[in-house]
Structure 1
Amino acid sequence: MISKKNNKKLRRYQKTKSVNYKSLPLNNELKSIVQAKHTMIQSGPLPDPQTLEQYNSIVPDAAERIIKMAEEQAKNRQSIDIIKIKTIRFSQIFGVIAAFIISMTAMIGGFILILTGHSVSGWISILSGVSPLIAVFIGDYNKNKH
């Protein structure tokens, strides 16, 4: 168990970026705990060269297989990204076409209602067909403005 005094010292030194643990004014109990801590952080699809070398010493050609696996995974990820981009593009185009068809149907229906003597219903239909388009254009204008 670490004493309260040593615990305060340890917290104070943990806040600093780099510490020479041998120069800390701690007793041997705490120094052995601090010296035992070792952290290695590795990021990326491939391990570092030393680890690849260790894999090769255990299993022949392991490093080559690991590199090949990382290359195949990268190709797979790129093909998935391409499919996502094409799907998003299709959805956007389809959405614009569908919105145009719905708006035009509402406006044509409104004109037909006006011509048949239902002017209030006709104007409501025309405005309900035009208002989403106006809202989209205003929204795009505001996005581009900022």
Structure 2
Amino acid sequence: MAEYPQDVVQRFHGTPDQVDAGLVGEPPRTWESVVIEDTAQEDAYLPALERLGYRLVLREPWWHGHRMLLSPAEDVNLHVWPQGAPEPIRHRLFRDWLRAHPHDRERYAATKRRLARDNAHRPRDYSLAKNDVIDEIYARIFAA
């Protein structure tokens, strides 16, 4: 295997202040969350998303008012929760943990690949079957 200089091998991590200082101009609007008071008031946000081609595919009021829309190319799942819901925070914690913990990231990815193969025609079963590995990872997140 080739040897590389230390400045190639060592990955640089900027501080939050450095990342903020690197922004040129104003942040794009797409970097912000859209604040929705009540996801049940679909007429306040669905028409604009539908004009962009998004299609409502899930309505789960029991899960903090969650809605999920699918992009026209079916390559983006857009999740919508009301302001103050805990799930967006949990999702960001999960994302950040997976970015920083390769073992859990690979375990989660392998689980998803296996479940997608085994449950390709049963999305509900695929979604529910991920719960065990997700709960194990959340236990490590909250214990850290």
TM range (shorter): under 0.3
TM-score (structure 2 length as normaliser) = 0.21
Tell me which protein shows more strand as a share of its residues: 2
TM-score (structure 1 length as normaliser) = 0.20
Tell me which protein shows more helix as a share of its residues: 1
When Rg is computed on C-alpha atoms for both structures, the one with the higher figure is: 1
